[in-house]
Amino acid sequence: MADQSLKLAVLHQNGWQLENIVDRLRAARSDWMALHGRSCEPDERELPSRKIMGEVVEALSGALFPMLLGPADLRLESEDFYVGHTLDAALNTLLQQICLELGHGLRPSLEIERQARSIVQDFALTLPQLRRLLDDDVMAAFRGDPAARSVDEVLLCYPGIVAIIHHRIAHHLYNAGLPLMARMTSELAHSATGIDIHPGARIGSSFFIDHGTGVVIGETAIIGDRVRIYQAVTLGAKRFDADDTGQLVKGQPRHPIVEDDVVIYAGATILGRITIGAGSSIGGNVWLTRSVPPGSNITQANLQNQAGKLG
């Protein structure tokens, strides 16, 4: 304690009034803890780290696609060793982070560690399936974009692929009961790409986001197979229901269902628990709050014509 006081005294000599600022920041933290019913700050980190989750996802991406997303000096003869070594380190780090989320506010216990190990083991066993699912996403991007010269270009360069790698990892964590780690994972991709996919969204195979910036996909959205969407598309909620106390009701289905083989063009906004039928095409800048049957071709023009007839 005396050593800490000496350090603060030295800081005070710099003229920034740091001792006073440190005291006031401590008071702000104490007020925050009291507001949320916590008696004191923990001695050690008690929640997962966003920085560490970024490192875990980067390592997992390298293990899934070693010769493209792995280290630059990796050679084919050492590929399996790299994958095994990288997965061992990443999964052990993931285990530590899961223990933190599961044990938040609780005493460390063998039961928490057992549950965390079970989640990590289940996740590890799904990685081959995850790789094949991502292969389908990469192929969908290659086939859906005439500018793509190779699948390698798609994997290395396309922001939509970065977003879907993160999402498929995040979705597994979300389903495993780890909403904080899942959200951290999805927000890392959001920050890097401008594509905001909630980890709760259910997305089928061969999914392609072209360009991507400004895409928003809400928590309860359900997307079928072979769906293609473009930049600035929103799959959002039309309204937010509140309970008797005015608090928002969590977890209700409130985002669209997009069936197989749908294309949604740039700037379209689709809101509410509505269904876009299989094989439909939704034109650019369309604002849609009603379900449409399979095979529909929705544009601004035909929406305006329908509105005119109703008027």
The predicted structure's pLDDT at residue 23: 92
pLDDT tens digits along 213-224: 999 999 999 999
pLDDT at 13 over 70: no
In angstroms, the CA 203 to CA 217 distance is: 10
Q: Which two tokens stand for residue 275?
A: 């269904």
**Is pLDDT larger for residue 2 or for residue 160?**
160
User: What pLDDT does residue 43 have?
Assistant: 56
pLDDT band per the 50, 70, 90 thresholds, residue 130: very high
DSSP-assigned letters across all residues of the chain: -HHHHHHHHHHHTTTS-HHHHHHHHHHHHHHHHHHTT-SS--SS--S--HHHHHHHHHHHHHHHSHHHHS-TT--GGGHHHHHHHHHHHHHHHHHHHHHHHHTTTS---HHHHHHHHHHHHHHHHHHHHHHHHHHHHHHHHHHH-TT---HHHHHHH-HHHHHHHHHHHHHHHHHTT-HHHHHHHHHHHHHHHS-EE-TT-EE-SS-EESS-TT-EE-TT-EE-TT-EE-TT-EEE-S---B-TTSPBPPS---S-EE-TT-EE-TT-EEESS-EE-TT-EE-TT-EE-S-B-TT-EE-HHHHHHHHHHH-
Say which amino acid occupies 159. P
Looking at the chain, the whole-number percentage of residues with pLDDT higher than 70 is 91
Band of residue 89 on the pLDDT scale cut at 50, 70, 90: very high
Mean pLDDT confidence for 289-293: 97
Least confident of 23-32, 183-192, 258-267: 23-32
Domain ranges of the chain: 44-194, 214-311
> Region 238-255: what's the mean pLDDT?
82
pLDDT band of residue 37 (cuts 50, 70, 90) is: confident
Q: What class has domain 44-194?
A: mainly alpha
Residue 113 has pLDDT above 60, yes or no: yes
| Cα 87–chain centre separation | 21
- For residue 12, the model assigns a pLDDT of 57
Question: What's the pTM?
Answer: 0.87
State pLDDT tens for residues 195-210.
Answer: 999 999 999 999 999 9
Nearest partner of 65 among 119, 127, 121, judged by Cα: 127
Per the CB < 8 A criterion, the answer to whether 101 and 177 are in contact is: no
Domains 44-194 and 214-311 belong to one CATH topology: no
pLDDT at 230: 98
Give the model's pLDDT for residue 142.
Answer: 98
Q: What is the pLDDT of residue 249?
A: 79
| Confidence check: pLDDT of 21 > 60 | yes
Mean pLDDT of the chain: 91
Residue range 150-205, pLDDT digits in tens:
999 999 999 999 999 999 999 999 999 999 999 999 999 999 999 999 999 999 99
9-18, 124-133, 146-155, 291-300: least confident range: 9-18
Q: What is the mean pLDDT of residues 51-80?
A: 97
pLDDT band at 41 (very low <50, low <70, confident <90, very high): low
Question: Which CATH code fits 214-311?
Answer: 2.160.10.10
Give yes or no for residue 66 having a pLDDT over 60. yes
Rounded to the nearest 5°, which phi and psi values hold at 258? -115, 115
